[in-house]
Chain A
């Protein structure tokens, strides 16, 4: 029993997209631009040389926020979307009726349709692959060359993530919506 979360030292991201590839490989995600559990947001560099705005060129890796108060779960008519015993928001594909309500309700565009099962899929912190095998890292975290991601148990005060969140400033995305994300961006 854990309460998994992830901290992202996002300023270290170099946009190599290794995490996107690793996620597809580990979790057998289909090819195609729409079919992704994880992404890296990039900004075009703004301004005219030599007055370039370097801060505009930052990379923002992201994925499902595993909201503690998840809108996707709240709107699901069949409880196909649920929070498992480790605080991971997951989809039970046998129960999903593809009403797409969760895709519309998720404020983070974290969900898409898996064309094989025609049900909704999203990041599940590798719950069916790595966590199921007893590992305690995710594929995206493991592969990252600059170690952007720190994954671990938020309830364990001695975990690396708890330590980092105690000692470094961080923020969550769209926190004003009350979704209580478990993804934290380290500043």
Chain B
């Protein structure tokens, strides 16, 4: 078992970790269901990746007028959740909120395993990922938000993996230092991703400081929902006292952030509509009239907010279920955001183009796009399962 010793030298792995321990889960109906769900998601991803390798972008429903689709939104969903988790992970050791100390290691791990599926997705969205790696270095486009975003996310991954490694080794000093580095890089990276949209001068609905700020806020929101989901599953809704205290605190923070998010949305809508400016007011009217927007406000903001408000953050079971609905809504919310930025046709002089009058641009993802964006979740769950078996994720007592 030379490999095991080698790995153990770098990061300590659990004594009883083996392929056998991985397969030896208790065959309860819930576990079996989760097993099949993960396998199903992974199969979906593999099929999607195979289609991508065979047909490239032809397998997607993106068009000249709507060049960004579900894969961009899937990427935003995962890396945004990761940024949120990274911020939550730092609440304890970096910001000194001691109730969060004991979740630091597990949350950092969650940040890693949500970042990786994001990377898988973006590599299939970029038409030529290998060319990207070469020319990002040879001829960096330093005025490009995409260049900065990519570079910063490279840094983020390095930081948080090292942070996790040091935390596993019990080296808190370095874990915290790297945690601070990771936090700064992560906030910079995700807000830069927001700026990819915010810089689009040609698209009044996206242009301006709103999206980067909104990204930062909703990142923490989506990270918090992810925490409730994972902890709910882990403890099968029977939370030990220590976890309960942390989650109630997290719920309160979440409640506050949801209130701020709704406030943000409100003023964004009003300022976009007021004055009836073309390309902005009409786009916003169309957004608020869409069912998907109404559902996302309801499930990702209003319902969880009401639960937290009424129960003062203590209704953890209700929050668990509403978190799952909220995460699905946030996934769709990312898709909506990307779509909203593009749905207004560039008016130009193309009053009619090849006999077709330009109308609102429609987009619906292809099966391959769905398979990759949703299937990537399988990677996330699988990695979590393996990590849970392999590493000691609960904080040491000595802290």
Contact = CB atoms under 8 A, between A and B. Distances in A.
B141 A107 contact: no
B256 interface: no
Contacts of B328: none
B364 interface: no
Interface stretch (A70-78, A129-137, A147-155): A70-78
A43 interface: yes
Interface in B188-202: 196, 199-202
Nearest to B151: A77
A28 B125 CA distance: 27
A14 interface: no
Interface in B313-365: 341-342, 345-346, 348-354, 356-357
B62 interface: yes
Contacts of A25: none
Given A98-B57, A100-B67, A78 B200 contact: no
Interface string A90-105: 0000111111110111
B18 interface: no
B350 A118 contact: no
Interface in B358-389: none
Contacts of B146: 75, 77, 99, 101
Contacts of B341: 104
A109 B352 CA distance: 13
Interface in A34-50: 34, 39, 41-44
A70 B144 CA distance: 12
Interface residues of A, number: 43
B28 interface: no
B126 A97 contact: yes
Nearest to B355: A42
B154 interface: no
Interface string B136-170: 10011101111100100000000000000000000
A25 B140 CA distance: 34
A89 to B, nearest CB: 14
Contacts of A178: 201
Given A96-B128, A104-B342, A109 B348 contact: yes
Contact of B349 (A41, A79, A96): A41
Contact of A109 (B56, B57, B350): B350
A97 B352 contact: no
A109 B140 CA distance: 25
A71 B202 contact: yes
Interface string A164-187: 000000000110011000000000
B132 interface: yes
A149 B272 CA distance: 39
Contact of A108 (B56, B57, B139, B348): B348
Nearest to A101: B146
B68 interface: yes
A16 B390 CA distance: 70
A78 B141 contact: yes
B208 interface: no
B373 to A, nearest CB: 16
Contact of A95 (B131, B147, B196, B350): B131
**Which of A41, A96, A112, A118 is the most central at the interface, judged by chain B CB atoms within 10 Å of its CB?**
A41
A108 B201 CA distance: 12
B139 to A, nearest CB: 4
Contacts of A97: 126-129, 131-132, 135
Contact of B131 (A34, A43, A96): A96
A80 interface: yes
Nearest to B144: A77
A179 B354 CA distance: 26
B141 A109 contact: no
A26 interface: no
A39 B356 CA distance: 13
A185 to B, nearest CB: 9
A76 to B, nearest CB: 5
B352 A103 contact: no
B63 to A, nearest CB: 7
A43 B354 CA distance: 11
B64 interface: yes
A78 B136 contact: yes
Given A75-B144, A115-B58, A41 B352 contact: yes
Contact of B128 (A41, A107, A118): A118
B352 A105 contact: no
Closest 8 pairs between A and B when the two form their complex, measured CB to CB = A98-B127, A60-B349, A107-B202, A41-B349, A100-B67, A78-B135, A77-B147, A109-B346
20 contacts: A39-B354, A41-B352, A43-B352, A44-B357, A75-B141, A75-B144, A78-B136, A78-B147, A80-B135, A95-B131, A95-B135, A98-B128, A100-B68, A100-B127, A104-B203, A104-B341, A107-B201, A113-B64, A113-B67, A119-B127
Interface of A: 33-34, 39, 41-44, 60-62, 71, 74-80, 94-101, 103-109, 111-113, 115, 118-119, 173-174, 177-178
Interface of B: 56-58, 62-65, 67-68, 125-129, 131-132, 135-136, 139-141, 143-147, 150, 196, 199-203, 341-342, 345-346, 348-354, 356-357
Given A74-B143, A75-B199, 4 more contacts: A41-B350, A77-B141, A77-B144, A99-B126
